[in-house]
Structure 1
Amino acid sequence: MSCLPCFGKKKNEGGGDEQAESSRGPMTPPPAVQAPATSYGAPASAAPVAVAAPALVTPAKPPGENNAGSSEDALRQEIEVKAFAFRELAAATDHFTPYNLVGEGGFFRVYKGQLDKDGQTVAIKQMDKHGFQGNIEFLTEVSKLSKLHQENLIDILGYCADGDQRLLVYEHMDGGTLEDHLFDLPPEKKPLDWTTRMKVAYGAAQGLEYLHEKANPPVVYGDFKASNVLLDASFTPKLSDFGLAQLGKTGGGNMPMASPMMGSFGCLAPEYDRGGQVTMKSDVYSFGVVLLQLISGRRTVDTSKPDEQQNVVTWAQPMFKDQKRYHELVDPLVKREYPAKALNQVVAMASMCLQEEDCVRPMMGDVVMTLGFLTALPPDPPSVNVPPPAADPAPKKDEKSHKSHHSDSSSSSSDDDDDHDEEEEEEEEEQS
C-alpha cells in the first residue's frame, strides 16, 4: 500500500530502527504511537486520513450489480412514456378477467381496460414472463418504441416493469381490426367499399414506410397481417405489434430477426420458410398479401375452398399474368364499383410485392407513391361496368297508339269513302 513507505521513511528520519520497520508485513499498519502527529507538522485529527485503503478494498456492492442498476435507471430515464404500477393496470382490467380479453399473440395477451385516474379506455398488452431475458432487454425495447411517432402507428402510452410483470399500454381503437371488416361479415354489417379499402392500404403502407425508411434505427415489422391493422371510427388504419422483436441493425435493418410467427401462416415470405429470416423485403411480401386480401376479400388460407384455391396467393397467381382476368380477383361484395385503371394498378402492385425473389420487390416508399396516386383517382366506376340504361317504353306505346289511331283513322276514312261510293251508286240507279 502506498501509505506504508511514508511511515517507514518518517520513522527512519526520526532515528528509529530501519530493520524493525522493514520486518513488518506489507498489510500491517504501523502503530499510531510510532507516527506522532507532531512529527508531520499536522493536527492529530488529520492522522487517520493517510489510511484510506479499506474503503477501496471492501466496496458496498459488487461492481456488476452496481452497473446493472445504473443501466436500468438510465434506460427508464430515456423512456418517453409513463411508467405504471402493476396494481393500476390490474385495476383497469378487473384483474385481467377473461371478458376483457380482446386478443392474443404468440407471447402476449391484450386486454381492454379503463384507467382510474382519467377514465381513458386503453389496450393493455401483458407480455409472457419468459418473452424477454430481463428488465434491461424489455426497457430497451420500450425506450425505442416510445420514440416512434407516426399517424399510422398505434401510440404507446405507458409501460409496467414491476418485478417479473411486463406490460405495455396502448391507445384503444374503436373500429376493431381490418380482419373484422373483411371476413365472415354478419348480414347487418356493411362491407368496405373500394375507396375505403384503398384508404386503408395507403395508410398501412405509410406506416410501414416510416418504420423502414424514416425511423432511426429502422424497424423490421416481422409479423404484418390484417389482424394487426387496427381501424378507428373513420377507418384510418394504425399498425400494432411492431417493434416487439429485434429492431433493425445498422446497415438497412436487414439482419435476421427471431420473432414468434404464430397465426401468420400464409402472410410470411418464402425466405422465412427457407431460413427463418425476416427482413424489410419480407415485410413488403406480407404487405402484398394484405393488399390482395383487400382486393379479394379472401383469407390467407381458407380450407373450405378447393385445394387450388385455399391459399390466396396461389389462387391469384394465374390471374396476375392476364390483365383481362383482373376483375376476377375483386371481392364480390364490392359489386364492380371501382375504377378500372385503379384496379389494374393495384393488382400490378400486389403482384410486384409478392415476387418470389426478395430483390425484385419494391421498397415501401414506391408502394406509398403508387397507392397515393390511386387514392386521388375519381371513385366513379367505368362505363363498361355499368349496365346500359333500360330503354323507355313510353315512346313506343305512343307510337303504337299513334299508329293505331292512324290505322283507325284510315279505316274510318275508308269506310266513309265506301259509304259515299254506295250512295252515289244508289242515286245513279234511281235516276235510271
Structure 2
Amino acid sequence: MTNSRRNMLHFVHVMLVILHCFNAGFCTEIDSITSTQSLRDPGILSSPGGVYKLGFFSPLNSTNRYVGIWYNVSATTVIWVANRDKPLRDSSGVVKISGDGNVVVMNGEEEILWSSNVSSSQVDSIALLQDSGNFVLVDHLNNMSTIWQSFEHPSDTIVLKMIIGENTRTGERVKIESWRSPWDPNFGNFSLGMGSASIPQVYIWKGSHPYWRSGQWNGQIFIGVLEMYGTTRGGFRVENNSEDTLYFPGPSGFNSLMTFALDWKGHVIQSYWDENEKDWKITWSAPKNDCEVYGTCGPFGSCNNLQSPICSCLKGFEPKYREEWEKGNWTSGCVRSRALQCEVNNKNNSGDSSKEDRFLKMELMKLPDFAERSNTREDQCRSQCLGNCSCIAYAFVSGIGCMSWTNNLIDIQQFQLWGEDLYIRVAHSELDMHTDHQKGITKIVIPVIIGTLTLCVCLIICSSRMTRRTGVKTKEVVSVDNKNPVHMEEVPVFNLDLLENATSRFHEDNKLGQGGFGPVYRGKLEDGKEIAVKRLSKASGQGLEEFMNEVLVISKVQHKNLVRLYGCCVDKEEKMLIYEYMPKNSLDVFLFDEGHQGILDWRKRFTIIEGVGRGLLYLHRDSRLKIIHRDLKPSNILLDNNFNPKISDFGMARIFGSDQDQANTRRVVGTYGYMAPEYAIQGRFSEKSDVFSFGVLVLEIISGRRSTSSWIEMPSLSLLGYAWKLWNEEDLSTFIDPFILNPSTKMEIRKCIQIALLCVQEFAEDRPSISSVLVMLTSEISSLPAPLQPAFTQRHEIRETKCTLNNISITNLTGR
C-alpha cells in the first residue's frame, strides 16, 4: 500500500470518527442541525459569535431534561424551551431534522416530544442558532429563507430584536408565557403581550384576566409606567402598521445582553448582563406593589400606594358595598353618589342647561383602561365628552390626542412625580352638595363652638370654686403654645411607685442613656412588659416645655415607624414619659461606636432609611395632625430587634394646621449639623426643614460618620460638602462606609446619595417632599433630578449660624 493511499484511508477514517462523534453527541459543540447531523444529549449547538447556546438542561431541583437556549455568559439564564410541556425523563434525547423537514425533539424510543410543526417545510432544511438568540429552520436551497423561527414562538423571555405583537386582522398574538414554577418550565398561569385596542398597551394576564397594564403608548413611552417618565424612550418602540407590534431596540446604545422575563409569579423583570461583575442586574420590574396589580380598587376606585388604606373612591363616588370596602376588599369598586344631570334630563325629557354636568380634574394619574381615541383637538375634547352623556371621563395626552371613556373607569393609580390629567364627569348637584355641605357645617359649627366655650367657662368657674373649697388641683399639662391643653385623661397615667419598682428605683444599671431632657431608664412592669422611662431632669433647662409638647404630640399619633407612648407620670414633682422599650437602642450606636460598626449591612441601612421616610410621611401627610419633627437625627431613631426604625423624641415637634405650610419661631432649638438654613438663621420651619434633616441622616447612614465630623482628606468641608465634592468628581468610594461598599450595592448607594443631596439643597423650594423622596427610593427610576450645591458645605459656615438675626437667637444647639 502506497503512502498516499494510506494517508487517504487515514483521512476517511478520521472523518468517519468525527461524524460519528457528532451524531452520537460525544463532541461538545456543533454549528447546525441537518438531515445528517443531529444533536444528542449532552451536545451543544452554538451561535456563530458564541453569544447563545442551545442544548439539553435540567432546571433547579429537577432531573427532567429539556431542550433550551441560554446565554453563553450565564448557563442558568434559559430564554427559550422547546419541549416545555413534555420533558425527557433521561439523557437519551436528540434534536434532529425529521423526514418531513421539521426540527424535532425525540426521546430514546424515537417518540416526538416537540416539533416545529411547519406543513410547508423542506426535506433539505437546516436548523441554526443565530447570535440574536433566534433558533431558525431555513431552506438552504432557497437562499436560506426562514421556514420557522423560535422568535415567533417564545417561552417566558423577550430578548433584543424579538417582536411581541398582535395581528389585528387574524387575531393571532405573539406573547410570552411564564414557567409553572422555578423548576418546571411547563406553561404557567401568566402571559404577557400586546392588548387589542386602538391605543397600544402591554398587559400581563393571569389566565384570561388582566393582572398588570403598562398604560397607553404616547409615541415615546407607556404612560402608566412611572419609571419611563425619567428615561429616554424606555427601551421600547411600538409601530402600528398592519399589526400593533412591540419592538425592543437593537444593541445600538443599549446593552446587547438585555432581557425582559416573565417569572412564575407574574412579574415582568428587565435585566442586563454586567460584564464587570459577571452578574445580571435588575433595572425594572412590575408589578411592584398592590396598586400596580390590575383593578385592585375596582371600578371608579383610585389606588395610592403611599396612603393607608391604599384605595379610595373617585370624587363623586362612594363604595358599592361599604362593609366589604371597610374590611379591605375593594374589588367591587365604587358607584356614583348622585346621578348625572344629563341622565336626569334624558329621563325627564327636559333640557335644563343651567345645571349641566361638570368635570373634576385629577392630576398625576395613571389613566384608566378601555380608552377610546379621537382626532379631536385639545380645545374641543372637553365639549365633545360633555355633549355625549355616555362619556364619563376624558383626557388629552400629547402623542395620543383626545381620549374618552364610556365604560367603568378601571385600574386608576395616583402617582406622586409624573402622570396625566384625568377629568371625571360629575353631576352639577354633586358640586352643589359640597357647597351646601360647607354652608351647613358653618351653620352648625359656630353655635356649637359658642356653646362649648360657654360650657368651658362655666366648668372653669366651678372648678376654681371646688379647688378653693377642697385644695385639690386638676392635673393638666398645657402645651408650649397654650393653644392645645392636654388633660391626663387623654394619656394613661402611671403611678410613681409602679415606675420605681419597674426600674429598681432608677438604678444606674438600668440607665439606657442621657439626653437634654434627662436620663432614660429601662424597666419591666409586673405583667412582664418592658418599658423605657424618660425622666425629666430637674437640672434640665429645656425639659419642661418639651415634656408638655411631647405628651401633646405623641399621644395623638400612631405608626409602625414612630415610637409608641404608653403613658406618662406627673407625681411628687416628677415628670416622666413611658415608651415601648427598643432593645437595639438608637441608630447612632451602630453607626458611630467602633464596637458596633459593621453590624448594619446595606440591606439593614436601606430598610432604616425607607422606614424613617415612611414615618416622616405619616407625620407630614397621613396622620390626623400635620406634624413637623424639627429634631431628626440618629440618636432619635430607635431600633427594634429586627433593626426596624422608629422615630422618637417629639419634644421639639410642632403641630401645623391643615392649611399651614410653614411657621416662624423666635426660639430656634435643634441640633448642630441637622438644621436647615432657613430654620437656623431665620427661624422658619416647614416640612422641607424635616426633609433637610432626613438628607443629612441618609448621608450619615451611608458614610458611617457624624455630620459634625472632620474629614482627614478635606478638613474644611462638612459632611455635605465632602459628599458634594466627591459627587462632582464621580468618586464616591471614599465617602461610603467600607462595611457596606461592594460592587452589588454601589449603584443603589449612589442613588441614595443623590436623593440625600436633593434633600439638603440650600433653598427649601428646591428640596423634594418626603412623598417624592419615597417614590425615588422605592422605584427603579433611572433618571433623577440633578442636585445643586447643598447648604453648609464648609464647616465654618455652620458655625457662623450661631448669630442673632432679626431678634432670633440660636439656642440649645447641643446634642439631646
Cα distance, 1:311–1:190 mapped onto 2, change above 3 Å: same
* Whole-angstrom CA distance in 2 between matches of 1:90 and 1:307: 50
Secondary structure at 1:338 match in 2: coil
In the TM superposition, what is the alpha-carbon distance from 1:118 to its structure 2 partner? Answer: 1.0
Q: Would the aligned equivalents of 2:630 and 2:690 in 1 still touch at CA under 8 Å?
A: yes
Q: Would the aligned equivalents of 2:570 and 2:576 in 1 still touch at CA under 8 Å?
A: yes
Give per-residue Cα distances to partners, 1:362-386, cap 9 Å, x unaligned. Answer: 11111112222269xxxxxxxxxxx
What does residue 112 of structure 1 align with? Answer: 522
Cα distance, 1:335–1:343 mapped onto 2, change above 3 Å: closer
Cα distance, 1:286–1:70 mapped onto 2, change above 3 Å: closer
Cα distance, 1:94–1:320 mapped onto 2, change above 3 Å: same
What does residue 773 of structure 2 align with? Answer: 367
* Whole-angstrom CA distance in 2 between matches of 1:99 and 1:277: 41
* Whole-angstrom CA distance in 1 between matches of 2:507 and 2:780: 44
What does residue 720 of structure 2 align with? Answer: 313
What does residue 567 of structure 2 align with? Answer: 158
Secondary structure at 2:744 match in 1: coil
What does residue 678 of structure 2 align with? Answer: 271
Instruction: Say if 2:638 is the partner of 1:251.
Output: no
What does residue 406 of structure 1 align with? Answer: none
Cα distance, 1:304–1:76 mapped onto 2, change above 3 Å: same
What does residue 602 of structure 2 align with? Answer: 194
Percent of pairs identical after alignment? Answer: 31
Aligned residues: 309
Q: Would the aligned equivalents of 1:326 and 1:347 in 2 still touch at CA under 8 Å?
A: no
* Whole-angstrom CA distance in 2 between matches of 1:102 and 1:77: 26
Deviating more after overlay: 286-295 vs 270-279: 270-279
Cα distance, 1:247–1:65 mapped onto 2, change above 3 Å: farther
Secondary structure at 1:289 match in 2: helix
Cα distance, 1:242–1:61 mapped onto 2, change above 3 Å: closer
Q: Would the aligned equivalents of 2:547 and 2:651 in 1 still touch at CA under 8 Å?
A: no
In the TM superposition, what is the alpha-carbon distance from 1:326 to its structure 2 partner? Answer: 3.4
| Larger CA Rg, structure 1 vs 2 | 1
In the TM superposition, what is the alpha-carbon distance from 1:215 to its structure 2 partner? Answer: 2.0
Instruction: Say if 2:619 is the partner of 1:216.
Output: no
TM-score for the superposition, normalised by structure 1: 0.63
* Whole-angstrom CA distance in 2 between matches of 1:138 and 1:65: 25
Secondary structure at 2:715 match in 1: helix
In the TM superposition, what is the alpha-carbon distance from 1:200 to its structure 2 partner? Answer: 0.8
In the TM superposition, what is the alpha-carbon distance from 1:314 to its structure 2 partner? Answer: 1.9
Secondary structure at 2:706 match in 1: coil
In the TM superposition, what is the alpha-carbon distance from 1:250 to its structure 2 partner? Answer: 4.6
In the TM superposition, what is the alpha-carbon distance from 1:63 to its structure 2 partner? Answer: 6.0
Instruction: Say if 2:562 is the partner of 1:148.
Output: no
Give the letter for the 1:332 counterpart: P
**Structure 2 regions of 5+ residues with no counterpart?**
1-460, 479-484, 782-816
Q: Match for 1:236 among 629, 636, 644?
A: 644
* Whole-angstrom CA distance in 2 between matches of 1:165 and 1:230: 24
In the TM superposition, what is the alpha-carbon distance from 1:280 to its structure 2 partner? Answer: 1.8
In the TM superposition, what is the alpha-carbon distance from 1:239 to its structure 2 partner? Answer: 0.8
In the TM superposition, what is the alpha-carbon distance from 1:259 to its structure 2 partner? Answer: 6.1
Q: Would the aligned equivalents of 1:198 and 1:371 in 2 still touch at CA under 8 Å?
A: no
Q: Would the aligned equivalents of 1:342 and 1:374 in 2 still touch at CA under 8 Å?
A: no
In the TM superposition, what is the alpha-carbon distance from 1:301 to its structure 2 partner? Answer: 1.5
In the TM superposition, what is the alpha-carbon distance from 1:340 to its structure 2 partner? Answer: 4.3
TM-score for the superposition, normalised by structure 2: 0.35
* Whole-angstrom CA distance in 2 between matches of 1:285 and 1:371: 16
* Whole-angstrom CA distance in 2 between matches of 1:113 and 1:320: 46
For 1:266-415, list aligned pairs within 5 A: 266-303=673-710, 305=712, 308=715, 311-322=718-729, 324-373=730-779
* Whole-angstrom CA distance in 1 between matches of 2:503 and 2:640: 21
Q: Would the aligned equivalents of 2:652 and 2:669 in 1 still touch at CA under 8 Å?
A: no
Secondary structure at 2:656 match in 1: coil
For 1:50-65, list aligned pairs within 5 A: 62=464
In the TM superposition, what is the alpha-carbon distance from 1:231 to its structure 2 partner? Answer: 1.1
Q: Match for 1:170 among 556, 564, 579?
A: 579
Cα distance, 1:174–1:133 mapped onto 2, change above 3 Å: closer
* Whole-angstrom CA distance in 1 between matches of 2:475 and 2:646: 35
Cα distance, 1:70–1:180 mapped onto 2, change above 3 Å: closer
Q: Would the aligned equivalents of 2:752 and 2:777 in 1 still touch at CA under 8 Å?
A: yes
Secondary structure at 1:308 match in 2: coil
Secondary structure at 2:731 match in 1: helix
**Structure 1 regions of 5+ residues with no counterpart?**
1-58, 376-432
Q: Would the aligned equivalents of 1:220 and 1:243 in 2 still touch at CA under 8 Å?
A: no
Cα distance, 1:61–1:156 mapped onto 2, change above 3 Å: closer
* Whole-angstrom CA distance in 2 between matches of 1:328 and 1:366: 28
Secondary structure at 1:204 match in 2: helix
Give per-residue Cα distances to partners, 1:262-300, cap 9 Å, x unaligned. Answer: xx2112212233123433211111100110112211111
Q: Would the aligned equivalents of 2:631 and 2:652 in 1 still touch at CA under 8 Å?
A: no
Cα distance, 1:281–1:63 mapped onto 2, change above 3 Å: farther
Instruction: Say if 2:501 is the partner of 1:91.
Output: yes
What does residue 54 of structure 1 align with? Answer: none
Q: Would the aligned equivalents of 2:516 and 2:542 in 1 still touch at CA under 8 Å?
A: no
* Structure (1 or 2) with the greater helix fraction: 1
Secondary structure at 2:709 match in 1: coil
Cα distance, 1:310–1:106 mapped onto 2, change above 3 Å: farther
Give per-residue Cα distances to partners, 1:199-229, cap 9 Å, x unaligned. Answer: 1100010011111111232111111001111
* Whole-angstrom CA distance in 1 between matches of 2:769 and 2:588: 25
* Whole-angstrom CA distance in 2 between matches of 1:288 and 1:112: 31
In the TM superposition, what is the alpha-carbon distance from 1:138 to its structure 2 partner? Answer: 5.7
Give the letter for the 1:168 counterpart: L
Give the letter for the 1:145 counterpart: I
Secondary structure at 2:558 match in 1: coil
The two structures, once aligned, show a CA RMSD in angstroms of 3.2
Q: Would the aligned equivalents of 2:511 and 2:522 in 1 still touch at CA under 8 Å?
A: yes
Give the letter for the 2:516 counterpart: G
Secondary structure at 2:655 match in 1: coil
* Whole-angstrom CA distance in 2 between matches of 1:102 and 1:331: 27
Give the letter for the 1:360 counterpart: D
In the TM superposition, what is the alpha-carbon distance from 1:351 to its structure 2 partner? Answer: 0.8
What does residue 40 of structure 1 align with? Answer: none
Instruction: Say if 2:588 is the partner of 1:182.
Output: no
In the TM superposition, what is the alpha-carbon distance from 1:147 to its structure 2 partner? Answer: 2.3
Cα distance, 1:299–1:268 mapped onto 2, change above 3 Å: same
Cα distance, 1:317–1:163 mapped onto 2, change above 3 Å: same
* Whole-angstrom CA distance in 1 between matches of 2:683 and 2:571: 33
